């Protein structure tokens, strides 16, 4: 059965970990289509993983299986879980890394928050017959999550993989941004390879604000107005704009905003108008 399986991890590409996961999947289902979302999440950074994965997952087929492994608690009492909404299945450690993806799925289907629980099926992955025969306490990505995803791609039902649960972990810091009147307080959720600083302030939070009058403050620096594109300022000049992820972004044309402004992951950003 040819079904898309995506991989999102903090493993990097230098140690062969990602290749091993792919080998396990293909050994169980040679017809699976495996797609890498990213393997460059900062080590153990669950919040960044949640943000990047949620931004990407919406572009995949509805019946895709998504494996997300940012797992500082590997080998501990934290549960391995799988969550299904409609045809889409998420496989991950139970540490909150799926928080934003599940929230966004709820918004996509326009269901009330109170009904979210009833629309989601989730299981604790505690059936070892769907894992590799030997499970390392340091590499559940290869030994547990990859084989589970492969079996799911062959049509094994979610309920066969473990006991139903309804109390999976939500990451509280994924709801950090808030607006009061004409002021928004958020944080830096990601810094991309160009040094562009992506915040958790979604474009919808700017509704009703005059973008020409908006002031963005971060690390003691002030950036005035929200521009339409990088090209609206001179080379080397900082600007704020709504980037391709649909979030407020701080950039430097043909340069690195993170380096020039000294911005780091998690820094607070204040937007006012």
Distance, CA of 33 to CA of 126 (rounded, Å): 25
Question: Which stretch of DSSP H or E encloses residue 56?
Answer: helix 46-57
Structure confidence at residue 177 as a pLDDT band (50, 70, 90): confident
Encode pLDDT of 208-239 as tens digits: 999 999 999 999 999 999 999 999 999 999 99
What residues contact 211, with CB distance under 8 A and at least 6 apart?
Answer: 225, 226
Using a cut of 0.85, tell me whether the model's pTM lies above it.
Answer: yes
Encode pLDDT of 7-55 as tens digits: 999 999 999 999 999 999 999 999 999 999 999 999 999 999 999 999 9
Checking if the pLDDT of 170 tops 70, the result is: yes
Averaged pLDDT, 164-188:
85
Given the candidates 3.40.50.1380, 3.90.1150.10, 2.40.30.90, 2.60.120.10, the CATH classification of the domain at 176-272 is 2.40.30.90
For residue 227, which of 239, 243, 213, 214 has the smallest C-alpha distance? 239
Instruction: State both tokens at 38.
Output: 């990213």
pLDDT of residue 112: 44
For residue 171, which of 183, 185, 189 has the smallest C-alpha distance? 189
Distance, CA of 144 to CA of 55 (rounded, Å): 25
Span(s) in the chain for CATH 3.40.50.10790: 4-172
In residues, how long is the chain? 273
Domain topology for 4-172: Rossmann fold (3.40.50)
Coil/strand/helix, residue 143: helix
Span(s) in the chain for CATH 2.40.30.90: 176-272
Structure confidence at residue 113 as a pLDDT band (50, 70, 90): very low
Phi/psi at 167 (5° precision): -120, 40
């Amino acid at each position: 059965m040819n079904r898309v399986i995506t991989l999102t991890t903090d493993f990097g590409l230098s140690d062969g970990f990602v290749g091993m996961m792919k080998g396990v999947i293909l050994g169980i289902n040679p017809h699976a289509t495996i797609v890498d979302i990213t393997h460059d999440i900062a080590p153990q950074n669950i919040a960044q993983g949640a943000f990047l994965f949620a931004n990407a997952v919406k572009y995949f087929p509805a019946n895709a299986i998504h494996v997300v492994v940012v797992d500082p608690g590997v080998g501990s009492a934290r549960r391995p879980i799988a969550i299904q909404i409609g045809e889409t299945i998420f496989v991950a450690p139970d540490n909150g890394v799926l928080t934003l993806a599940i929230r966004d799925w709820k918004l996509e289907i326009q269901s009330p928050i109170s009904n979210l629980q009833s629309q989601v099926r989730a299981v604790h992955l505690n059936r070892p017959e769907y894992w590799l025969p030997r499970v390392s306490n340091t590499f559940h990505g290869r030994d547990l999550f990859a084989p589970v995803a492969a079996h799911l791609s062959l049509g094994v039902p979610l309920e066969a993989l473990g006991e139903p649960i309804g109390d999976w972990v939500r990451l509280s810091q994924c709801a950090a941004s808030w607006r009061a009147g004409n002021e928004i307080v958020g944080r830096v959720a990601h810094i991309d390879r160009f040094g562009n600083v992506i915040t958790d302030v979604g474009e919808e939070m700017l509704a009703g604000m005059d973008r020409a009058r908006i002031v963005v403050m971060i690390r003691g620096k002030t950036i005035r107005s929200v521009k339409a594109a990088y090209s609206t300022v001179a080379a080397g000049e900082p600007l704020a704009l709504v980037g391709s992820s649909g979030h407020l972004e701080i950039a430097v044309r043909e340069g690195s905003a993170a380096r020039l402004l000294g911005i780091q992951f998690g820094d607070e950003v204040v937007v006012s108008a």
